[in-house]
């Protein structure tokens, strides 16, 4: 080595990984997770004005694992399920600000899934040509299972299919590797995470409503929910980090309760996998 080693810039302590679903008005959907287009536009304007740089989920997961650096003010925009409104509402705004995103697609719900259809989908979904267009525009395409089951509640064989099928279909469809998966509903357990690894994924994201920090489990990277009711002030606090315990107080309490019920159900159902 001749050149002096580049100075190591200390990584920021965290990266907010935001989780979106639909970008739609209350008139278009009943989902309380749907963020109205105007709110979404204001959120991107805030991020841009505050000097944030967007990176893909994969870039963030790699950096958190020590295999890359995070920009000074990094933020990740993720979108679950593969709603068609991402193409219509989000893509033009991302383009405007030079932002990128990661879309986790439920492959059985793709609008023209054909013989692979595993519906009914929750709403109008992206088509294959739109997914290819997104990939070509630099949007990361990740998997979100094939039929959107609760992955911690299904038999091992079905679990393998739910992980392998979307990986194969998406890699074939966009002609690029698909290293990321997001758990439907955010549900996983040790067995699910092991199956994800075995299926060849390199990282996975959960929900958790916590900010991702270096050393986080690469197969359960936490994300932060943005929903219809997320006000501008709250959004800024979410992105700034460190206040999740108050912002997501209710979500955390619910998650704890559900986790107990889910473990019990899995054990009673005889599909518990050893931790
Ligand atoms: Zn989902």
Tell me whether residue 131 is in a domain: yes
CA 9 to centroid of ligand 1, rounded, Å: 36
66 — pLDDT class (breaks 50, 70, 90): confident
Tell me whether residue 12 is in a domain: no
Q: What whole-number distance in Å separates Cα of residue 53 and Cα of residue 247?
A: 23
CA 61 to centroid of ligand 1, rounded, Å: 20
What is the residue range of 211's domain? 17-268
CATH code of the domain covering residue 151? 3.20.20.370
Contact 70, 80 (CB under 8 A): no
Q: If DSSP codes are grouped into helix, strand and coil, which group holds residue 3?
A: coil
Tell me whether residue 187 is in a domain: yes
CA 81 to centroid of ligand 1, rounded, Å: 5
pTM of the model: 0.90
Question: Is the pLDDT at 274 greater than 80, yes or no?
Answer: no
CA 269 to centroid of ligand 1, rounded, Å: 23
Q: Residue 246's pLDDT is what?
A: 87
CA 144 to centroid of ligand 1, rounded, Å: 7
Q: Residue 6's pLDDT is what?
A: 47
Tell me how far apart the 2 most distant CA atoms of the chain are, in Å: 63
**Percent of the chain residues topping a pLDDT of 90:** 71
3 — pLDDT class (breaks 50, 70, 90): very low
Tell me whether residue 192 is in a domain: yes
Q: What whole-number distance in Å separates Cα of residue 36 and Cα of residue 265?
A: 36
Question: Model confidence over 85-121: pLDDT tens digits?
Answer: 999 999 999 999 999 999 999 999 999 999 999 989 9
The count of structural domains within the chain is: 1
Q: What whole-number distance in Å separates Cα of residue 197 and Cα of residue 177?
A: 15
Question: Is the pLDDT at 214 greater than 90, yes or no?
Answer: no
Task: Determine the average pLDDT of the residues in 155-182.
Answer: 98
CA 224 to centroid of ligand 1, rounded, Å: 14
Question: Model confidence over 49-58: pLDDT tens digits?
Answer: 999 999 999 9
Q: What is the 3-state secondary structure (H, E, C) of 177-216?
A: CCCEEECHHHCCCHHHHHHHHHCCCCEEEEEECCCECCCC
Tell me whether residue 220 is in a domain: yes
Tell me whether residue 11 is in a domain: no
The residues, any chain, with a CB within 8 Å of residue 270's CB and separated by 6 or more, are none
Q: Residue 273's pLDDT is what?
A: 39
Q: Residue 256's pLDDT is what?
A: 72
Outline where the chain has alpha helix (H): 37-49, 57-64, 85, 91-97, 128-136, 156-174, 190-198, 232-240, 244-247, 249-268
Q: Residue 12's pLDDT is what?
A: 54
Q: Residues 76, 80, 85, CA angle at the centre, nearest 5°? A: 100
CA 11 to centroid of ligand 1, rounded, Å: 30
Ligand 1 being an ion, which residues bring their Cβ within 5 A of it?
A: 80-81, 184
């Amino acid at each position: 080595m001749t050149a002096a080693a580049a100075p190591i810039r200390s990584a920021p302590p965290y990266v907010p990984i935001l989780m979106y679903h639909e970008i739609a008005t209350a008139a278009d959907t009943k989902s309380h997770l749907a963020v109205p287009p105007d709110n979404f536009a204001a959120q991107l304007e805030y991020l841009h004005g505050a000097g944030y740089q967007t990176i893909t989920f994969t870039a963030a997961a790699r950096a958190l694992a020590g295999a890359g650096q995070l920009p000074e003010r990094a933020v990740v925009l993720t979108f679950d399920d593969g709603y068609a409104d991402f193409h219509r509402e989000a893509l033009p705004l991302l383009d405007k600000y030079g932002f990128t995103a990661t879309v986790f697609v439920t492959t059985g719900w793709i609008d023209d899934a054909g013989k692979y259809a595993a519906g009914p989908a929750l709403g109008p979904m992206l088509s294959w040509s739109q997914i290819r267009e997104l990939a070509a525009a630099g949007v990361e395409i990740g998997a979100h299972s094939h039929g959107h089951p609760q992955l911690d509640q299904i038999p091992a064989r079905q679990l393998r299919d739910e992980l392998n099928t979307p990986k194969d279909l998406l890699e074939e469809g966009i002609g690029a590797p698909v290293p990321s998966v997001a758990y439907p509903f955010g549900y996983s357990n040790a067995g699910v995470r092991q199956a994800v690894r075995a299926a060849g994924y390199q990282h996975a994201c959960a929900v958790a409503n916590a900010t991702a920090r270096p050393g986080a489990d690469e197969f359960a990277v936490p994300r932060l929910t943005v929903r219809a009711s997320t006000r501008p002030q709250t959004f800024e606090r979410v992105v700034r980090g460190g206040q999740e315990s108050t912002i997501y107080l209710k979500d955390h309490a619910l998650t704890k309760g559900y986790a107990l019920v889910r473990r019990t159900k899995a054990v009673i159902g005889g599909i518990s996998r050893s931790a």
